[in-house]
Amino acid sequence: MEAATRSLAGDKAKHIVEAMRSSVARRGAAGSTFDHVAREAGVSRGLLHYYFGTKEQLLVEVVRRDAELRMALLDEQLSGARTVDDFLELLVFSLEDLLRHDAEFTALFLELFTLARRHEDIALELTQLLRGTRMRLAGLLLAKEEEGVLQLHADAEAIADVLFALGDGLAPRMLADPERDWSVTVAAAVDCVRTLIAERA
């Protein structure tokens, strides 16, 4: 879409994205109208239409920017891993940090996935987003293998998919049942990942 190719930089973009993020967290995607977002971002409704076209495209942009920030943080954290245990501990920390400080991201992603089932253009955007994050994490896995930190026992992109699937699957369950002790489940997930990335005896 033409609107999706336009870029909006600076404070206005930040305010718009944050307003949409906040609105979806409170009202869901269906209830987050351009009127709500424009008012909360302090911009005109016409500006939103010009740069994003539809609220669905705006939601894509919100998730894309969130994913970029989270991947940059994950890159920074995992780059310091010097052993398999370091790597696994940092993965768990990343999940726990997401749940503790940015639970909205999980809700946003699930909203986007639901919209993608009904909108072909959103499905394409989501596919590209998932491909990009998968390839980025795969590149990090390969770099760690070259450093001698990890030993990959499957295709790097396949392992990246498994890591994301575990995180994406556990996050909503953990958020839905915060009183449960999830440590045993997380430990089981770590054991699964270890079989894919650790040196075999």
Residues of the chain with pLDDT under 70: 1-10, 201
Report whether 139 contacts 152 (CB < 8 A): no
Longest CA span, the chain: 62
CATH architecture of 59-197: Orthogonal Bundle (1.10)
Return the residue matching tokens 């369950």: 173
Give the pair of three-digit tokens for residue 14: 């930040």
DSSP state letter for 200? P
Report in angstroms the alpha-carbon separations of 162 from 28, 51, 195. 28, 35, 12
Percentage of the chain with pLDDT > 70? 95
pLDDT at residue 8, rounded to an integer? 58
pTM, 2 dp: 0.82
Return the residue matching tokens 């940015």: 102
pLDDT at residue 167, rounded to an integer? 94
pLDDT at residue 5, rounded to an integer? 40
pLDDT at residue 1, rounded to an integer? 41
Report whether 84 contacts 198 (CB < 8 A): yes
Distance between CA atoms of 182 and 120, rounded to whole angstroms?
36
What angle (nearest 5°) sits at the alpha carbon of residue 129, between those of residues 126 and 134?
A: 125
For the chain, give the mean pLDDT. 87
pLDDT at residue 59, rounded to an integer? 83
Sign of CA dihedral 127, 128, 130, 135: positive
